[in-house]
Structure 1
């Protein structure tokens, strides 16, 4: 089986050069940064996106490929519903196949208690207009006719979609360039340039670029960069493992997840498999520093992760990763161009055998690719989407908690509107940066 290599050896597609000035500098070439640049350029602004490695080489190409409304935090749902519409528009505007398909997504329930949790989420988002509904045991069996498990029921959203991450995000980046954005890969942002107490641009390994606005959308690396400017966010990273099977007969055309197995049909005829309830975390300085804020999450799911005392060298929260540097120093971002964690081999084997057991008619299921990604997470399982009051001109969009791919166009549009001085169209108070310092209690997102 091949370990997923995207981003490690792919040639630079966006080589620059780095302009001297911009209206906005976006730091980070994942889906959030790319879509922010896209919608900024769509407004006639001149965005420059800098990426330390390759566009979408980290979590934005390693996720499940779900474009999911169901199960969202009630504050996220309106933005995700907008993103659902934007994905459809982008599939037409971009002129490349994004792998976008309306397939429906399903959460499977083994018990009546799980179904009650799904109903609780439906009650919390009543009136939103989302088409999610509960399925009976019989309807669920009809949806998965070859499945062995007799599910108690399910939560299903027919309008939810899928796309192919490693195809879609690079295509969206090319579309942003055609709109007028400049993207420079292999160009790490070292520090935000500050003059007179406000943003003046970005200092990169290729030199300075002057701009009055900067957006930090660096995923797992955001906290490390923001720390240089006195902005502390309790962001950590967890590792998730995914495996892609070889081509198989179709047993389900959409995406579904149960207690320990999630699966999605891919356009190449295989399935993407994962376990949404299992993550690994590498303990470091930030993990210990932020543990008080994660106590509510740990209490709710104390056994959903495996802890490793030592991170591989160069990881964002590694014990030896530098926390302070100057603008002339080589930074952790340059030392690790692409964060490419090794997949958890036992998990890969469990996923393949679990898919076989669930759909016995498939026979032996063989893996084609296996990979892992580092998911940027927050204590309450919702992101930070806000202006930094302590540094005028700086905006932050990070901590997507594994939900970023599907909602990327929505938050990209929100960030572009925020910077352009427009009405963002949504209540962003749930995502404010100050919630971790103003005495607010940690309010966890949905546990479904």
Structure 2
């Protein structure tokens, strides 16, 4: 990457500063560099050190909320275009995703999704029990059917985003790791610079793509955002027989075939809702999603209640939470993962011999409606917030980044921006309570 050899060196000025080296931040820098727009990306730790390397590796249209489905369709096309240009193997391939239905009730949900999204070019179809068996190379009629999307893709998260960052650097982007942005300076309501731990960078635009750190950063600016962190646990297995070439989802366990012959396995919705001060401030916003998933989601008083994602205030010349914790590395839930692996083996008996090779935790930046924010807060001209991808970010990340670049350039956006508005939760951009 064309980061300065000495991480303490930052340029005096640029046109755009991107805060955060995850999929959205990196793709934003890449797309700006393609246009010849000077851009500096500042990452407090390392590129893709957090959720962008810890996700499942699905690039799916199947099952998407229709408010973000068209953006995901556009993003899928960006993945197809971008992957071969990176010059590196990132494990990308169009291998399909399949959501299994264990019973008629689950099958009805897939039918409803197809009916509600019939106007979109998503390529999904409903499979019969026999077609589902044929796809999985079995004949026991365990499933009532499946939602199958042959055009969906998968990739290796730990390879993809760093490769994108290196490509962005070759195009002229400046990528600086180990450099936390402490604050944003403005004049007359307009962004004029960012203050990093290694110096100030004058700029015209700032993109906040900080994942779970975005709310903490914004609160220090006096802005309120109802975004919380949810902990997810994931495992990868030792090599095993091929169940399916792509990704397959089910209530007990969802899995993706890996390039190393193993599987990345997790359980959708089985997450830990961590209680930090912001959880109490935004509790009513999140009540619907908690009520919907109460059987699968644990609510825990976080050991980090006063930690990095707690409530903080600092000045631009003070050490920040971003410097105190460069990479958030939460401990996975071993009991949950043992149950998830057992569920995967029950669903797919050919996996009986595989074992857990590695497990990890990740923090997902979740919004109350599980839809991203891609917008400019009132009174902060030049600041674009791109966060809250709610566990869907790996696939949709390039599309979100394209919207960001279109906002910077003043271009017509790919899709309707209303679902991604900063103010959609019935509040104005205001000082955090």
**Pairing 1:435–2:427 present:** no
Most deviating of 345-354 and 231-240:
345-354
Matched-pair contact (CA < 8 Å) for 1:278–1:304: yes
What is aligned with 1:167?
159
CA distance in 2, matches of 1:367, 1:157: 28
Matched-pair contact (CA < 8 Å) for 2:24–2:398: yes
Q: 1:241 to 1:14 in 2, by over 3 A?
A: farther
Aligned partner of residue 235 in structure 2, secondary structure:
strand
**Pairing 1:381–2:370 present:** yes
CA distance in 2, matches of 1:229, 1:261: 40
What is aligned with 1:18?
10
Q: How does 1:247-396 map to 2 (within 5 A)?
A: 247-312=239-304, 315-318=307-310, 322-396=311-385
**Pairing 1:94–2:86 present:** yes
Q: 1:12 to 1:202 in 2, by over 3 A?
A: closer
Scaled by the length of structure 1, the TM-score of the pair is 0.91
The one of 408, 414, 425 equivalent to 2:397 is: 408
Q: Which runs of 4+ in 1 moved over 6 A?
A: 11-14
What is aligned with 1:31?
23
Aligned partner of residue 224 in structure 1, secondary structure:
helix
Matched-pair contact (CA < 8 Å) for 2:24–2:386: yes
Deviations 1:3-35 (A, max 9, x none): xxxxxxxx9989473111010000000000000
Matched-pair contact (CA < 8 Å) for 2:345–2:351: yes
Q: 1:436 to 1:362 in 2, by over 3 A?
A: closer
Scaled by the length of structure 2, the TM-score of the pair is 0.94
Q: Which runs of 5+ in 1 are unaligned?
A: 1-10, 440-448
The one of 168, 171, 178 equivalent to 2:170 is: 178
What is aligned with 1:231?
223
What is aligned with 1:192?
184
Deviations 1:255-282 (A, max 9, x none): 1111120010000110001011200122
What is aligned with 1:7?
none
What is aligned with 1:108?
100
Aligned partner of residue 167 in structure 1, secondary structure:
helix
Matched-pair contact (CA < 8 Å) for 2:207–2:386: yes
CA distance in 2, matches of 1:370, 1:298: 25
CA distance in 2, matches of 1:288, 1:118: 34
Q: 1:324 to 1:16 in 2, by over 3 A?
A: closer
CA distance in 2, matches of 1:419, 1:37: 12
CA distance in 2, matches of 1:31, 1:179: 17
**Pairing 1:144–2:136 present:** yes
Matched-pair contact (CA < 8 Å) for 1:147–1:358: no
Q: CA RMSD in A?
A: 1.9
Q: 1:69 to 1:14 in 2, by over 3 A?
A: farther
CA distance in 2, matches of 1:275, 1:179: 38
Deviations 1:328-353 (A, max 9, x none): 11100000000000110112212222
CA distance in 2, matches of 1:399, 1:56: 16
What's the offset of the Cα at 1:361? Answer: 3.4
CA distance in 1, matches of 2:90, 2:73: 19
Deviations 1:73-105 (A, max 9, x none): 212111111111111111221111121111100
What is aligned with 2:209?
217
Matched-pair contact (CA < 8 Å) for 1:353–1:365: no
**Pairing 1:122–2:142 present:** no
Q: Tell me the matched-pair count.
A: 426
Aligned partner of residue 267 in structure 1, secondary structure:
coil
Q: 1:281 to 1:438 in 2, by over 3 A?
A: closer
Q: Which runs of 5+ in 2 are unaligned?
A: 429-433
Q: 1:256 to 1:333 in 2, by over 3 A?
A: same
CA distance in 2, matches of 1:349, 1:22: 49
Q: 1:292 to 1:108 in 2, by over 3 A?
A: same
What's the offset of the Cα at 1:288? Answer: 0.7
CA distance in 2, matches of 1:369, 1:147: 31
Aligned partner of residue 397 in structure 1, secondary structure:
strand
